[in-house]
Protein backbone atom coordinates (compact mmCIF):
# COMPACT_ATOMS: atom_id res chain seq x y z
CA UNK A 1 0.00 0.00 0.00
CA UNK A 2 1.54 3.35 -1.02
CA UNK A 3 2.22 5.93 1.67
CA UNK A 4 1.11 9.52 1.70
CA UNK A 5 2.13 11.64 -1.26
CA UNK A 6 4.75 14.33 -0.70
CA UNK A 7 6.37 16.64 -3.23
CA UNK A 8 8.69 19.65 -2.96
CA UNK A 9 9.60 22.42 -5.40
CA UNK A 10 12.09 25.29 -5.10
CA UNK A 11 12.96 28.13 -7.46
CA UNK A 12 15.27 31.15 -7.39
CA UNK A 13 14.99 34.03 -9.85
CA UNK A 14 16.74 37.35 -10.40
CA UNK A 15 14.27 40.19 -9.76
CA UNK A 16 15.70 42.37 -12.58
CA UNK A 17 14.73 39.63 -15.06
CA UNK A 18 11.06 40.23 -14.26
CA UNK A 19 11.58 44.00 -14.36
CA UNK A 20 12.97 43.66 -17.89
CA UNK A 21 10.06 41.46 -18.98
CA UNK A 22 7.51 43.93 -17.63
CA UNK A 23 9.35 46.83 -19.26
CA UNK A 24 9.61 45.06 -22.61
CA UNK A 25 6.21 43.35 -22.88
CA UNK A 26 4.07 45.18 -20.31
CA UNK A 27 0.47 44.03 -19.96
CA UNK A 28 0.99 41.18 -22.42
CA UNK A 29 3.57 39.60 -20.09
CA UNK A 30 1.49 40.26 -16.98
CA UNK A 31 -1.68 38.68 -18.45
CA UNK A 32 0.27 35.66 -19.71
CA UNK A 33 1.90 34.86 -16.36
CA UNK A 34 -0.37 36.27 -13.65
CA UNK A 35 -4.07 36.04 -12.84
CA UNK A 36 -6.10 39.25 -12.47
CA UNK A 37 -6.12 38.64 -8.70
CA UNK A 38 -2.31 38.42 -8.62
CA UNK A 39 -1.90 41.52 -10.77
CA UNK A 40 -4.16 43.45 -8.39
CA UNK A 41 -2.41 42.08 -5.30
CA UNK A 42 1.08 42.95 -6.58
CA UNK A 43 -0.03 46.41 -7.77
CA UNK A 44 2.99 46.78 -10.07
CA UNK A 45 5.57 45.94 -7.39
CA UNK A 46 8.30 44.09 -9.29
CA UNK A 47 9.67 42.10 -6.30
CA UNK A 48 6.14 40.82 -5.59
CA UNK A 49 5.71 39.79 -9.21
CA UNK A 50 9.14 38.13 -9.22
CA UNK A 51 8.52 36.10 -6.08
CA UNK A 52 5.21 34.86 -7.52
CA UNK A 53 6.99 33.92 -10.74
CA UNK A 54 9.44 31.87 -8.65
CA UNK A 55 6.47 30.42 -6.75
CA UNK A 56 4.83 29.23 -9.94
CA UNK A 57 8.08 27.63 -11.08
CA UNK A 58 8.34 25.88 -7.70
CA UNK A 59 4.72 24.68 -7.92
CA UNK A 60 5.32 23.29 -11.41
CA UNK A 61 8.37 21.41 -10.10
CA UNK A 62 6.33 19.95 -7.24
CA UNK A 63 3.77 18.82 -9.83
CA UNK A 64 6.60 17.08 -11.67
CA UNK A 65 5.71 18.66 -14.99
CA UNK A 66 7.69 21.84 -15.21
CA UNK A 67 5.39 24.04 -17.24
CA UNK A 68 4.62 21.39 -19.86
CA UNK A 69 0.86 21.23 -20.32
CA UNK A 70 0.11 23.79 -17.62
CA UNK A 71 -0.53 27.49 -18.14
CA UNK A 72 1.05 30.04 -15.81
CA UNK A 73 -2.40 31.34 -14.91
CA UNK A 74 -3.54 27.89 -13.73
CA UNK A 75 -1.34 28.45 -10.67
CA UNK A 76 -2.33 31.36 -8.46
CA UNK A 77 -0.48 32.66 -5.40
CA UNK A 78 -2.59 34.94 -3.26
CA UNK A 79 -2.53 35.86 0.43
CA UNK A 80 -4.78 35.06 3.35
CA UNK A 81 -6.15 37.76 5.67
CA UNK A 82 -2.81 37.87 7.54
CA UNK A 83 -0.74 38.18 4.37
CA UNK A 84 0.42 34.55 4.40
CA UNK A 85 0.84 33.28 0.82
CA UNK A 86 -1.57 30.59 -0.33
CA UNK A 87 -1.65 28.40 -3.44
CA UNK A 88 -4.73 28.00 -5.61
CA UNK A 89 -4.61 25.59 -8.54
CA UNK A 90 -6.95 25.72 -11.52
CA UNK A 91 -7.54 23.72 -14.67
CA UNK A 92 -4.83 21.27 -15.68
CA UNK A 93 -2.62 22.18 -12.72
CA UNK A 94 -5.41 21.20 -10.34
CA UNK A 95 -6.07 18.00 -12.28
CA UNK A 96 -2.38 17.05 -12.13
CA UNK A 97 -2.27 17.69 -8.38
CA UNK A 98 -5.34 15.50 -7.88
CA UNK A 99 -3.77 12.71 -9.97
CA UNK A 100 -0.72 12.84 -7.69
CA UNK A 101 -2.84 12.96 -4.53
CA UNK A 102 -1.51 16.41 -3.63
CA UNK A 103 -4.26 18.32 -1.85
CA UNK A 104 -2.45 20.37 0.79
CA UNK A 105 -0.02 23.07 -0.27
CA UNK A 106 2.36 25.18 1.79
CA UNK A 107 4.43 27.92 0.18
CA UNK A 108 7.13 30.23 1.45
CA UNK A 109 8.20 33.31 -0.51
CA UNK A 110 10.95 35.83 0.10
CA UNK A 111 12.91 38.37 -1.90
CA UNK A 112 15.66 40.95 -1.83
CA UNK A 113 16.19 43.71 -4.37
CA UNK A 114 18.13 41.25 -6.54
CA UNK A 115 16.67 37.77 -5.91
CA UNK A 116 13.35 36.07 -5.21
CA UNK A 117 13.00 32.52 -3.92
CA UNK A 118 10.03 30.26 -3.38
CA UNK A 119 9.65 26.85 -1.81
CA UNK A 120 6.53 24.71 -1.88
CA UNK A 121 5.64 21.51 -0.12
CA UNK A 122 2.60 19.60 -1.31
CA UNK A 123 1.14 16.56 0.41
CA UNK A 124 -1.82 14.27 0.66
CA UNK A 125 -4.22 14.75 3.58
Which of the following is catalytic: 56, 61, 84, 115?
61
By the 10 Å C-beta count (0-12 exposed, 13-18 middle, 19+ buried), 122 is classed as: buried
- Is 61 in the active site? yes
Which of the following is catalytic: 84, 111, 113, 115?
111
- Is 56 in the active site? no
By the 10 Å C-beta count (0-12 exposed, 13-18 middle, 19+ buried), 99 is classed as: exposed
Strands, E assignment, 1-125: 6-14, 75-79, 85-89, 104-111, 115-123
User: Could you count the other beta carbons within 10 Å of the beta carbon of residue 81?
Assistant: 5
Active site residues: 61, 111
Amino acid sequence: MPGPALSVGVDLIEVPRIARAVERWGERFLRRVYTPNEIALCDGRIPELAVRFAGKEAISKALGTGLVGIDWTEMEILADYRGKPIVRLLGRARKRAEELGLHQWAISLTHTKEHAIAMVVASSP
